[in-house]
Amino acid sequence: MMPRAPLAAVTAALAAAVAGLAFPAAAQEISNLEAARPVAMEDAAPLERGTYSASADYAYARRLDNVDYAGPAFSLAAGALNGFEIGAETRLLTNPTMNAARGIGSGDLDVHALAALRAESADGPALALRGDAILATGFASHGTNVSAELIATRSFASFRLHGTAGALYVGSTRPEERRNRLYALVGFDARPFGPWRTDTIAMADVIVRQSVTTGGKVSVGLELGLRHRTGLQTMFYAGMGSEVAGDRDRIRYRGLLGFTHTF
């Protein structure tokens, strides 16, 4: 007869194996958050050194004044150094002439760098600094814009909090357009199916922005998103949002579907 201790060990090992087959998703960790995929919120974690990601998505939006536009976006990002990420992205939009008045061009190239300032610890959140240069490479573009953001992430038992404070400098303004614009957002992410399901994450955020025009109203936007990993390297995401306060040309609703592949 097999001794009791070895029998218990074998039983535990078999149970663990069966659980691993029954719930393979438990071994799949979600990736870091990415700005605008599917919501504006981002975490203070650059891609690891030597890691690359490629993303593509399709978005549709309708403004309060019934102007709508849609189009795909493509992005590439890389962990260039420890705690330092670089990347570039572009979005192609219908109705670029109408949206140019809001500073939205079709095909502009957004080049960014994300640098970790400190890792999260018991003393405080993770912090990162992000800088973007939006180059006027597209249709209906009117100058190069530059932005800077301070990003913070704090983890708790069942969710994470994120905050961003940023400023946008518009290189070439139109009449009555604001040159310097401030914005901030706060949000959270959590695993909607419990801590044992590490392949899916849900998120929500609130964004407050200064108006595009000097005499305009402050806009307030709400966003919801979901990211789901399939396999070890591919992430599908979906998001929706609306600007609930602001000017008459604010976004009534916006939806987005896409994927990211890391390698």
pLDDT tens digit sequence for 158-184: 999 999 999 999 998 888 899 999 999
Contacts of 208 (CB under 8 A, 6+ apart): 183, 184, 185, 218, 219, 220, 221
- Kindly state the average pLDDT of the residues 241-255: 95
- Write down the pTM of the prediction: 0.86
Let me know if residue 11 belongs to a domain: no
Q: The CATH number of the domain where 61 resides is what?
A: 2.40.160.40
For residue 147, pLDDT over 70 is answered with yes
Least confident of 14-28, 87-101, 151-165: 14-28
Tell me the CB-side half-sphere exposure of residue 149, using CA atoms within 13 A.
27
Let me know if residue 205 belongs to a domain: yes
Let me know if residue 15 belongs to a domain: no
Q: What is the pLDDT of residue 103?
A: 57
Q: What is the pLDDT of residue 143?
A: 83
Q: How confident is the model at residue 31 (pLDDT cuts 50, 70, 90)?
A: low
For residue 22, pLDDT over 70 is answered with no
What is the number of domains present in the chain?
A: 1
DSSP assigned state of 123: T
Let me know if residue 16 belongs to a domain: no
Q: What is the pLDDT of residue 173?
A: 87
Task: Count H helices and E strands in the chain, helices first.
Answer: 2, 12
Contacts of 145 (CB under 8 A, 6+ apart): 103, 133, 134, 168, 169, 170, 171
Q: What is the pLDDT of residue 12?
A: 47
Let me know if residue 32 belongs to a domain: no
Backbone angles phi, psi at 248, to 5 degrees: -70, -20
Residue 120 domain boundaries: 41-262
Backbone angles phi, psi at 22, to 5 degrees: -75, -30
Distance CA 227, CA 237 (A): 4
Q: What is the pLDDT of residue 99?
A: 65
- Kindly state the average pLDDT of the residues 73-88: 97
Let me know if residue 13 belongs to a domain: no
219-230 and 200-209 as β-strands: parallel, antiparallel, unpaired? antiparallel
Let me know if residue 153 belongs to a domain: yes
Q: How confident is the model at residue 6 (pLDDT cuts 50, 70, 90)?
A: low
